[in-house]
Amino acid sequence: MATLTFLGAVEGVTGSMHLLKTAHSTLLLDCGLYQGRRDEEAKNHEPLPVDVSQLDAVILSHAHLDHSGRLPILLREGYSGPIYMTRPTADLIEVLLKDAASLQERDAEWENKRRQRSGKPLIEPLYRKEEVDGVLKQCIPIRYYTKRKITQDVELNFADAGHILGSAIVEICITENGDVKKLVFSGDLGNSQAALLRDPDIIKEADIVLLESTYGDRNHRSMEATLDEFEQVILQASENGGNILIPSFAVGRTQEIIFRLGELYQQGKLAQQRVFLDSPMAIAVTEIYHRYQDVYNEEDLDAISDSAERVHSQNQSLHSLLPILSYTTSTEESIALNKVVSGAIIIAGSGMCNGGRIRHHLKQNLWRKQSHVVFVGFQAMGTPGRKIIDGATHVKMAGGDIAVRAQIHTLGGFSAHASQEQLIDWLSHFNTLPKIYLIHGEEGAKHTLQRAIKEKGWNAFIPHFEETIRF
């Protein structure tokens, strides 16, 4: 009999980690960072809740740090086995983990300066960039829909989750005494309204399903309404002469925003003639997206192809759809944007305005009445982005106290996660309803989704941290 122990993303949405034990194998599903509040992030410094010496393999659903960010710690504690993931995920984690390591090193350096002055002992960063290199050496990419026997009694298959590039629904078949049991780990399921990526694959057979519940308590605004509002913001900004700032997450959200701006440009509806992507990490990720257009949905890929043909370009990419897009790579180029006071769209990280280059652009634009700030992602409590959308008149930013006079917009339709309606629809395609466990969601979202599932005549369970089930 196999067992599954829930070790992360159980009491919230971060720190994804689940331990699967069979008669002959021990597998780890995800190895993610805790993110958010200080007390949550403190858990990252605790020893991992697994016996690394017993692990045969690690399976990664996708590249986001709340699913991959503790892999360097796993290796430091002695793991030397394979880490299975899709090919795009293998490329993305190199960018994301190295960026995370750089931030950890920088934060430790600043903290140690403070500690030296007060005579306190120095600290080490959570991990360093060279430790990321060790992770990359152990990555084994597997193509979608390619069944692979990874241990004596476990076969692995990746289906498309449609969440970000390379995101996977993990299908695990366990053979025991001639019988086969199937566990399906949804990973993070994508929003079927989103651009570029395909809808999440339908899975029809499973004995156990681990289902994310990030938006288990709500449905998304329609994409049509979201794009209409986006178009109006752009028109309004062109009329009053201000810049548009878009704080955006580097993976997925940025690429969708570029695609939507490209659609408007091709329709002659983009009055602004300068679009800047001012984020080295988002630029690197966008170039990775260009390498894997085979996983795009057909409609959006056709739009990109048609735009390339119209200008006789051999470079089929988001640049062919949005030719006015410029990459701002160096610090000097980013600073130069301070001189642009009107007519530009600037996309920069971080998505919640708690770091990155967007803070400097807000310093230059937030106090201008003709400026527009467009929020296209969730703003966590306590972040500068959340304070701005909640109506703050002043925010502390980039070493100063900045008045909020710009026009503020929130577009609710841009989400990389499936809504409650989409989650239930995905479940409805199983031929025989499996045993469902809700993970990766806040308590309210999980309980709301549980009730919605029950209304369909199904049952779903909400596991506790370190709870073990048998199947």
- pTM for this predicted structure: 0.93
Reading the block at residue 54, the tokens are 């017993």
- Looking at the DSSP bridge assignments, the partners of residue 20 are 4, 27
220: DSSP letter: P
Buried b (16+ CB within 10 A) or exposed e, 290-324: eeebebbeeebeebbeebbeeeeeeebbbbbbbee
Pairing label, strands 208-212, 325-327? unpaired
**DSSP percent split of the chain into helix, strand, coil, nearest 5:** 35, 20, 40
Nearest to 247 by CA among 374, 337, 364: 374
**Hey, what domains does the chain have and what are their CATH numbers?**
3-218+416-470 (3.60.15.10), 223-410 (3.40.50.10890)
One pLDDT digit (tens) per residue for the chain, 471 residues: 999 999 999 989 999 999 999 999 999 999 999 987 788 888 999 999 999 999 999 999 999 999 999 999 999 999 999 999 999 999 999 999 999 999 999 989 999 999 999 999 999 999 999 999 999 999 999 999 999 999 999 999 999 999 999 999 999 999 998 899 999 999 999 999 999 999 999 999 999 999 999 999 999 999 999 999 999 988 888 888 889 999 999 999 999 999 999 999 999 999 888 999 999 999 999 999 999 999 999 999 999 999 988 877 778 899 999 999 999 999 999 999 999 989 999 999 998 898 889 999 999 999 999 999 999 987 777 789 989 999 999 998 877 899 999 999 998 788 899 999 999 999 999 999 999 999 999 999 999 999 999 999 999 999 999 999 999
